Chains A and B, each alone.
Chain A
Amino acid sequence: MSRAIFIPRDGLHPVLDRLSAEMDVWVPVASGPQKCGGEFVRYVPGTVPVLERQSTTPPKRILLPQVESLLSYAYVKDPEDASRVKINLQAEIAAKPTVVFGARPCDVRGFLLFDRVFTGGPFQDEYYRKRRENTFFATLVCRQWDAACFCSSVGSGPADMEGSDLRLTPLEDGFLVEAINRRAHPILKLMGGEQPTKTQLEAAENLQKETTEEQVGTGDLTHSGDDFRGRFEDLEYWRSMVSQCISCGVCTFVCPTCYCFSITDEMQGLEGERLRSWDSCMFYQYTLEASGHNPRPSKFERYRNRIGHKFSFIPAKYAGMIGCCGCGRCIRSCPVSIDIRKVVENLKENACACS
């Protein structure tokens, strides 16, 4: 039996204030007074969460910061032999208990893939693992979707709670918060809130049921691996689908499942850091080799790899898991409105290759 509390609409702040006194709390907010979009920020008392629409950028950076230091180093004189230089090397892996409050099922679904990639072996990424273990997701049952959303097409849905710890069901006068797993119980306790009434519990259950049955997006994109292999060498196909692409990194940076990163060294004086930073497979430099050779020299190879990675390679590697959560951000934010659904659907042989 799951434990639940009710937070009235005007009672959100006290709850978040209590939580944020104990741990890091991230909430979606509007990007600015005259902005249409939103993003996740660290909650401080007074922050106004915006839970009614999807944020422009996903909560990805909470577990995979856009840039982080993997290690720091310093060149120092060897105390025993002044002519020699030694390296002092330090790597600090730390993570604070964190709650992500008000993410959507699609936002969280990205982390299911991250878990496989970063902690599923053969090597463990401790930086990620530690943060992941300390992070709790309080996830909204999603009631707002638009023409770019397609979570149901990738095997998820607007009420999918996989990977989440608490479920937030928006009711007319507030939110019902339920702990989905045992690790969420202390968080729920910390939140306080009210004992939910029977009516509230019923209303929430109805909404959850109704939402689970919703079909967000048409078609099924979960079995496209073979079609992709069939189209791999069909350059005409890739030309017809993505000639518009301008090779920017928007789609990858706003994507909850894109995790590819770069590692670079930065120095000042005799000290420096090794940084891990988001990279984008849409950039020319991503695969450029020192010899000048580039296995993906044009946007067509690069876009093809993006599709392949999400819909063919990842499913093949991770037992059918799709590298796409259907949030639609890449479609919505694309400067030239490329529709990834169409590119995947049309992979099927005999499908019309015109965009």
Chain B
Amino acid sequence: MHAHNPYLPELATVKEVIQETHNIRTLRIVLDDEEKMRRFVFRPGQVGQLSVFGVGESTFVINSPPSCKEYLQFSVMRAGEVTQRIHQLSAGDPIGVRAPLGNGFCFEELKGKDILFVGGGIGMAPLRTLLLHMIDHRADYGDIMIIYGARSPQDLCYRYEFDKWREGKVDLVLTVDSEFPGWKGRVGFVPTVLTEEAPSPHNRVAIVCGPPIMIKFVLFNLKELGFQSDQILTTLEKRMKCGIGICGRCNIGTNYVCVDGPVFSVAQLQGMVPEL
């Protein structure tokens, strides 16, 4: 971020583009200012505003681990005008970035706890950064379980690094919505698989991210399993413009998702006005 003007993006260059699924691409970008790239620090869960100059800005979570100093990684699902154009970028193209923004996960408070990640589709992106951070500091955390689902095997992001996650002593449960030839993982919706796996809520924090409908049922099932609302974290999305708590549109009551979020505990959400 430019210290004197928070609206001014840092110039960056796309280093690599990874086609994750038919509508999700991962961009690895490098700040043009080498010094700034080296000094760039952020918390897992914090976001960045990517600029395609002439089209606009859009908000995405930084999903590389904080330990990675070579590039910043963003996974982008094609949806609107800006994401459409981001998908047309290739290595060497210029891009703008304003980051880090938002609150991020309080990973300090998660130390010593068992962790449950529940992700759906593109919702794995914000979880990935925290997961990789935890794998970097594996001894600080207890048991780590991931339940990750998508419509089909081809819709799972980061497939190429699942083995690496498992090497980090992570219990990775993959599920897809229906049977596919050659698919060896689970079949069924994420909330159902969650109930079947029934991870113990004892000393555990659940971190949930995915489409709204999935979140709704996952939260319900987590409660059934005995999770309390302060044991569940989730990340929210809203239409954003400024990203710095000024322009006014991403509020849920008093809270601005861009500066007070995107990470909220379910306990916090219950204290906010119901307007998601």
Contacts and interface: CB of A to CB of B under 8 A. Distances in A.
Interface of A: 70-71, 73, 75, 83-87, 89, 91, 93, 117-118, 122-127, 229, 232-233, 259-267, 272, 274, 276, 279, 281, 286-291, 293, 295-296, 301, 305, 308-309, 312-313, 316-317
Contact of B239 (A93, A289, A301, A309): A289
Contact of B241 (A263, A272, A288): A263
Interface string B81-100: 11100000000111010000
Give the dominant DSSP class at A's interface: mixed
Contacts of B247: 260-263, 279
A290 B83 contact: yes
Contacts of A70: 7-8
A264 B56 contact: yes
18 contacts: A73-B53, A75-B54, A83-B92, A87-B11, A127-B7, A232-B273, A260-B247, A263-B247, A265-B52, A265-B55, A272-B53, A272-B54, A287-B239, A289-B238, A290-B239, A295-B252, A309-B251, A312-B254
Nearest to B55: A265
A85 B94 contact: yes
Given A85-B94, A86-B94, A263 B276 contact: no
B237 A259 contact: no
Interface string B32-54: 00000000000000000000111
A279 B249 contact: yes
Given A93-B5, A261-B248, A87 B254 contact: no
B96 A295 contact: no
A264 B51 CA distance: 11
Contacts of A288: 239
Nearest to B54: A267
Interface string B186-209: 000000000000000000000000
Nearest to B11: A87
Given A290-B58, A295-B238, 18 more contacts: A70-B8, A73-B54, A84-B92, A86-B11, A89-B9, A91-B5, A91-B7, A117-B246, A122-B245, A125-B246, A126-B5, A260-B248, A263-B242, A286-B249, A287-B238, A288-B239, A309-B248, A316-B254
Which of B80, B94, B259 is the most central at the interface, judged by chain A CB atoms within 10 Å of its CB?
A: B94
A263 B249 contact: no
A313 B254 contact: yes
A51 to B, nearest CB: 32
A295 B245 CA distance: 18
Interface of B: 4-9, 11, 52-58, 79-83, 92-94, 96, 212, 237-239, 241-242, 244-249, 251-254, 259, 273-276
Give the dominant DSSP class at B's interface: loop
A264 B239 CA distance: 13
Contacts of A85: 93-94
Which of A70, A118, A263, A312 is the most central at the interface, judged by chain B CB atoms within 10 Å of its CB?
A: A263
B7 A71 contact: yes
A308 B273 contact: yes
Which of A84, A89, A232, A301 is the most central at the interface, judged by chain B CB atoms within 10 Å of its CB?
A: A89
B57 A263 contact: yes
A83 B247 CA distance: 38
A70 B79 CA distance: 26
A2 B7 CA distance: 40
A70 B238 CA distance: 22
A263 B56 CA distance: 8
A290 B79 contact: yes
Nearest to B49: A263
B53 to A, nearest CB: 4
A87 B9 CA distance: 11
